[in-house]
Structure 1
Amino acid sequence: MKRKIKLEKDILDFVELCNKHEVRYLVIGGYAVSIHGHPRSTKDIDVCIEMSELNASKMISVINEFGFGSLKLDKEDFLKKDLVTQLGFPPLRIDILNDLDGVNFEEAWNNKKIVTFEHVPVNFIGYNELLIVKQKSARSQDIADIEMLKKRNKESK
């Protein structure tokens, strides 16, 4: 039985603001794993953004409009490699990553998968790029995700 994937309203609102402000972002992590064939629970949504001056400025606009202006983030916070900005609390926490480990953002952007939830298009990292990011991370959950994704992908052929 195929499990339906759902994005909560707060997360959809955040993504809608990213789209409105033309932020270059990709959903990675558990939600991306679900989209690519292995639905599983997750405590947050992981969003990687392109690390550029323009994109960082757009992300500040999103954060302010989303109601997190009191955090006093500035665009420099989105231009630092290996930095993760967390908004909210599980299970609605949004983790914003500034870079992808093992994958060039432009390449990942060009291979993204767009899935629409309640009329909101959402940019997900592509299958091959997701596998690379998961391999680089190498946490036990990531290894399990890789195995299940490859198994599901093989079964669907």
Structure 2
Amino acid sequence: MVIGGFAVSIHGYPRTTKVLDICINKTEENAGKLIAILNDFGFGSLNFKEEDFLKDEIIAQLGYPPIRIDILNDLNGIDFNFAYENKRIVNMNGILTNFIGYNELLINKERAGRDQDLLDIKKLKERNKLK
């Protein structure tokens, strides 16, 4: 599920970001699928193992900004399953893509609490109030 700056853009406040943030549900099945995908995309040399993605608060960073992908297995202050139930599905050039829902994004940003997160909350609320 896409979170972070790309999700902020989908929910009404387009802004630049140098990182694609993706959160996965922390299960053995998903960890196995992720390892297979990473190997298929040429990241096998990083030697990730399934158990790496079953630990708490893992962030795997692939590449460098402005084209970095961060893979997380925890959402700040939100249960993944709850967030997934309330996801927003967006058709991105024929690919259905899961984004964190608006309310869950606000909670996630509030709990993260960085300056950029707080600005995102302010701008999202301003933009969505106008709709």
In the alignment, does 2:61 pair up with 1:86? yes
Q: How many angstroms does 1:49 deviate by?
A: 0.5
Q: Which residue of 2 aligns with 1:58?
A: 33
In the alignment, does 2:117 pair up with 1:142? yes
Bigger drift between 118-127 and 128-137 goes to 118-127
Using CA pairs under 8 Å that are at least 6 residues apart, name the structure with larger relative contact order, 1 or 2: 2
Structure 1: runs of 5 or more not aligned: 1-25
**What TM-score do you get using the length of structure 2 for normalisation?**
0.98
Q: How many angstroms does 1:111 deviate by?
A: 0.6
Structure 2: runs of 5 or more not aligned: none
The within-5 A match list for 1:15-26 is 26=1
Q: Which residue of 1 aligns with 2:51?
A: 76
- The equivalent position to 2:105 in structure 1, one of 108, 130, 138, is 130
In the alignment, does 2:124 pair up with 1:154? no
Between Structure 1 and Structure 2, how many residues are aligned? Answer: 131
Cα RMSD (Å) of the superposition? 0.7
SS, match of residue 67 in structure 1: coil
Percent of pairs identical after alignment?
57
Moved over 6 A (4+): none
Q: Which residue of 2 aligns with 1:27?
A: 2
Q: In the aligned structure 1, how far is the partner of 2:36 from the partner of 2:89?
A: 23
Q: How many angstroms does 1:63 deviate by?
A: 0.6
Q: Which residue of 2 aligns with 1:37?
A: 12
